[in-house]
Structure 1
Amino acid sequence: MRASRAPLFAVPVIVAALVAGPAVTVRAQQTPVAPPEGLYYLQSATTGLNAAATGGRVAQHRPRGNSDHQQWWLHAGGDAYTLENTDSPGQCLGRTGDSPGLVACGGDGAGWDLAGAGPDRYALKDPGADRYLTVAPSGDTYADALALGPDGDLARWYLTPLVAPKSPLPPESLRTLDQVTFLTAHNAYANGVDGGFAPPIVNLFPNQNRGLDQQLAEGVRGFMLDIHQTPDGAILCHDSCTLVSRPVALWVDLRRIVEFLRQHRTEIVTVFLEDYVAPDVLRAELARVPDLAGLLLRPDVEGVRQRGWPTLGELRQRDKRLLIFTDHSRADDESAGLTRDSFGVMYQRDWTVENFWSMGPGVGGSDWSCYSRWYGGGVNIPLTRTEPGFRPLFVMNHFRDVPVPPTITTDNGKLADRAERFCEPAARKKPNFLAVDRYDLGDPGSAVDLLNTYRYAGMIARRAGSPG
C-alpha cells in the first residue's frame, strides 16, 4: 500500500543572490495580483505538473524539487515579465514559432503578458497574438510538450514559490484537520505480531514490526490497511489471502482502534483502506465493532466541502474522532446498488489527494518526485486540487516496493527534506499524513513534529467565520 514520514529541514529562503538563472518574459500588466520577482515553479493548474526545460523545448514533468530544470526566475522589466531557467542562465521560457521553447531572455519571443486568472492562478499570453501558454490534451491525459493555444482552463498556471510560505499555527484545539500532520503506518497490519499477512516468503518482509496496539501507543494516528474478501469476510493481507497463516479480520483491528479512542478521549485516528471487498461485506465488518458508528466523522453530511474541515477541538467535543477512507470506486458501488459512504466510509478521491506510492525498489536510488497517484487512465486529480472553501487532505506516501530495513532507515531520515522541498511545492499544501514503512527506523516522528510547527500559507481555504 502506501507511505512514510521522517525529519524535515527548512530550505534557505535567501537564494536569489546565489542563482543567476534564466527567466521567462511575461508582459507586465499593472495588476495588484502579479507575484513579486523571485524563484518559482510554474505548475499547470490542470495537471499539477511542472514546466521544465528539456533541451530547447519546454515540457511538463513530474515535480522533482531542485532537479530536472524546473525552477524559474520571474523577472519584471519594463512592460514585460520573463521566466528564466535557473539551470540555463540567459535562457527564458518563450516562443519559437508556433511552440513554447527556450529563447534568449533579451530577444524576441521571451516576453509575456501576465494576468491574474482566478485564485492564485495566472495566464501567460503572447503580447503579439491571442494565444496563451497551455497544456494540450493527448488521449486520456495531456501531452508532455506544452503548447500555445486559446485562453481557458488549460491555460491556467500556478507560480509556486520554491520555499513554502509559512505562517504560525493557531492554538492546538483551534487547528483545523487540514492544518495538522499525522504519523501514518503503511500496511500497518503487515507487522508479523498481530497475525499473518502474506504467504510464508512475503512474511519475511514486514512493513512494520510492531503490533497495532503498540503503534497506537507510540503515536501512529493513520493506518493503511489492505482488505480482501474471503468466505470469512474482509481479511487483512497482501494481494491474496491464500496460504496466509493466522490471518486477521478487519473488524479485529478496527476494534483495537475504537478501544484506544475510548480510552484516549483527545486522540483522532484515520484509516485508509486499500479495498477489494463488496460494500455489504465491509458494512458487516464495521457493524461488528461496538461504538464505531458513533465515532465516525462524516464530512459528506457535515458541510466540509462548503465550510472546510472542522477544528480538532470540535471533533473532540462532538466525539467524532475516527475517519475511514476507501480507495474503492464509487461508480462500481453505485452499479452494485450500495455506496460505502452510506454507512460512513468516505471515498478517498472525494476528500484527499495522494502522491504516487512508490519511490522505487527496495535498494538503490530513490525517486523523490512527487506527483498524483490518480493521473492517467481517464483520471486526473492533481495534488494541487482545491475548491472554494475546501482543501483536500494530502496523503504523502514515502516508501518503496520492498521494505528493506537499511534502505528504510535512510529514507525515513530524509522524510522532512522530501516533504518540504519536493512534496509541499508539488501539492501547494502541507502533507496531512506522512505514510512510512517501519516508523521505528530513521525517526520519522521528528518530521511530523516539524510539520506541526507551521501552516502552509498559500491557498488557505477559509471556514465560515474563521480568520483564515
Structure 2
Amino acid sequence: MRTPHALLAAATALAAAVVTPPSHAAAAIPAAGAYYVQSATTGLNAADNGGAVEQHNPKGNEDHQQWNLRAAGSSFVLESADTGGSCLGRSGDKARTVACTSADAAWEIAPAGGDQYTLKAPGTDRHLTVAAKPSGANYPAQLAVGSSGGLASWYLTPVTSPTRPMPPADQRTLDQVTFLTAHNAYANGVDGGFAPPFVNLVPNQIRGIDRQLADGVRGFMLDIHQTPDGAILCHNSCTLVSKPVALWVDVQRIVDFLKAHPDQFATIFLEDYVDPGVLRNELARVNGLSDVLYRPDQTGVRQNGWPKMADLIAAGHRLLIFTDHSRASDEAAGLTRDSFGVMYQKDWTVENYWSMGSGLGSSDWSCYSRWYDADTAIPLTRTEPGFRPLFVMNHFRDATITSTARTDNTKLADRARRFCQPAARKKPTFLAVDRYDLGDPASAVDTLNTYIYP
C-alpha cells in the first residue's frame, strides 16, 4: 500500500485531471501504454507471481498486475511495470514471465469483438487463456497457453482510466451518476433496534433514515427477516431485538421524501430472507409506492441501456428496489419478486466483495466480484450489447469501528478510481459505506460525479 502522502497526491492528481480516451478505444490495436491484462471470463488480472503468471483479484498498483504494452517488430510485448526487462510470456503450455528479448515474450494482438482482444503466439494457434474450469471448481489461478475460444478473450484495461466530462444534467444517464449509499442503513440505533443488545452497541450508521435522506444518502442497504409480523429490519435475525422496525416503515420514509422532493432518485437494496408473498404484502402497505417505483424490466433497459435521469424524474420513476434473493427459488415457489416491482440484483448490477477486512489491522483494497465462486462467475466487467450493469461498490469492514471507518472513508475516492473502476471497467454507481458521517464520503461522490467512464 502506498504511504498516505502518496495516496493523497494520487487522488488529487486523478481528481484534477480529465483524461482523453486513448486512441485504442476506436482502433484495432491498443496504443502503447500501461494496462491490466484482464480476463473477459473472470474479470481477474494477469499477475506475476514469482515467474508464474496467474489470475489474481484486481489490486491497483499492487501485486505485479500492471504491464507496459509496446510494439516489438510486427508483434507486441507486455513488460512488467515492477520488473524491468521481464515480460508476460510463455513456457510450454503455461504463461510465465520471460526476458522481454525472448521470442516467447512476443504476442500477436487482435480484436475479439467489442473491446476484447486475443493474445496469440506468433506463427501458431496458441493463445493466452484462462485454464479450463474443472467440474465443481473455480478457474485455476495459473494462466495457460492453449486453444482459442471464450477463455482466450482479454480486456486490455488502461491503468489510468479514460474519462470524459459529465454530461449536462438533462443528458446524463442513470449509469453515469454516482450515489452515496448507506450500508445497513437501518442499523442506526435511532429508528429502532436492529440486533441483540451487544451488537446494538456497534451500529453501521448513527443517523436515522430521515436524516440520511436529508444528508444526501440516496442508496439504502436493508436486511429483512421474516416474523409473524411480516418483513422486519434486523441484522442476522430478529431474535432478542428490541423494537425492530418493519420494512414498510422505512420504505414509507423514503417514498415520502421522494414525494416532497420530486427531483430526487433513490435505490433500496434488500438482503432478503423472506418469502415473496410476505414481501409483496409488506410493500403493499406503503402509501404512494406505485407512484414512484421504477421498473427497468418494463422499459427496455436491457435492449437500450439506462435512461436519462431527467426522463426518469419527468416520468416519476424515482425509486428502484433490488433484492439479492434467488429468482430460481421464487420461481419454484410460484411468485417472482419482479412481478410486483422488486428487481433481482444479479440481473441488473455487478457488486464487489463486501468486506475490506476485520476492522482492525490490515486491509484488503482489492476489488473483485461478490458473485464469483465455484458455481457462479459474474465478473465485475460484465456487459451486454446495449446494456451496462450498474456497479455497486462496497467499501466497509466486517465490523464498524469508528476510527477505521473514518480513515477508510477518506480513501474512498482513491480506491474507487485506482482499484475498483479499472477492475469493473465502469464507474461505481453506488458507493456503499459505514458511518457516512465520518471522513466525508460525500466528497468522493462529488468527485466521481464530475466525469464518466466511456
Shorter-normalised TM range: over 0.9
CA contact (8 A) 1:229 1:277 kept: yes
Tell me, in whole angstroms, the C-alpha distance in 1 between the residues paired with 2:304 and 2:236.
Answer: 38
The letter for the 2-side match of 1:315 is L
Q: Which residue of 2 aligns with 1:121?
A: 116
From 95, 101, 106, the equivalent of 1:106 is: 101
The letter for the 2-side match of 1:113 is E
1:278-289 → structure 2 map (5 Å cutoff): 278-289=275-286
Tell me, in whole angstroms, the C-alpha distance in 2 between the residues paired with 1:85 and 1:417.
Answer: 23
Q: Which residue of 2 aligns with 1:56?
A: 51
Q: Which residue of 2 aligns with 1:453?
A: 450
Q: Which residue of 1 aligns with 2:388?
A: 391
Do structure 1's residue 169 and structure 2's residue 166 form an aligned pair? yes
Tell me, in whole angstroms, the C-alpha distance in 2 between the residues paired with 1:13 and 1:99.
Answer: 42
Q: Which residue of 2 aligns with 1:266?
A: 263
CA contact (8 A) 1:359 1:366 kept: yes
Query: Structure 1 residue 294: deviation in Å?
Result: 2.5
3-state SS of the aligned residue for 1:174? coil
From 141, 145, 157, the equivalent of 1:144 is: 141
Q: Which residue of 1 aligns with 2:4?
A: none
Q: In angstroms, what is the RMSD of aligned CA positions? A: 1.5
Q: Which residue of 1 aligns with 2:422?
A: 425
The higher relative CO (CA closer than 8 Å, separation ≥ 6) is in 1
- Residue deviations 1:162-209 (CA, integer Å, cap 9, x gap): 111010111112210000000000000000000000000000100000
For structure 2, list consecutive stretches of 5 or more residues without a partner in the other structure. 1-7, 18-25
Count of residue pairs the alignment pairs up: 436
Do structure 1's residue 336 and structure 2's residue 333 form an aligned pair? yes
From 206, 209, 212, the equivalent of 1:209 is: 206
- Residue deviations 1:206-253 (CA, integer Å, cap 9, x gap): 000000000000100000000000111000000010000011000000
3-state SS of the aligned residue for 1:109? helix
Q: Which residue of 2 aligns with 1:188?
A: 185
1:59-98 → structure 2 map (5 Å cutoff): 59-98=54-93
CA contact (8 A) 2:351 2:393 kept: yes
Higher helix share: 2
Tell me, in whole angstroms, the C-alpha distance in 1 between the residues paired with 2:198 and 2:27.
Answer: 62
Tell me, in whole angstroms, the C-alpha distance in 1 between the residues paired with 2:14 and 2:189.
Answer: 38
For structure 1, list consecutive stretches of 5 or more residues without a partner in the other structure. 1-6, 15-30, 458-468
Query: Structure 1 residue 97: deviation in Å?
Result: 1.8
3-state SS of the aligned residue for 2:170? helix
CA contact (8 A) 2:39 2:130 kept: yes
Query: Structure 1 residue 13: deviation in Å?
Result: 11
Query: Structure 1 residue 108: deviation in Å?
Result: 2.2
Do structure 1's residue 33 and structure 2's residue 28 form an aligned pair? yes
Cα 1:143/1:109, change in 2 over 3 Å: same
Tell me, in whole angstroms, the C-alpha distance in 2 between the residues paired with 1:250 and 1:215.
Answer: 16
Tell me, in whole angstroms, the C-alpha distance in 2 between the residues paired with 1:174 and 1:224.
Answer: 28
Question: Runs of 4 or more off by more than 2 Å in structure 1?
Answer: 7-14, 138-141
> Quick one: percent identity of the two aligned structures?
68
Tell me, in whole angstroms, the C-alpha distance in 1 between the residues paired with 2:292 and 2:110.
Answer: 47
From 310, 313, 318, the equivalent of 1:313 is: 310
Cα 1:12/1:193, change in 2 over 3 Å: closer
Query: Structure 1 residue 12: deviation in Å?
Result: 9.3
CA contact (8 A) 1:13 1:163 kept: no
Query: Structure 1 residue 98: deviation in Å?
Result: 2.1
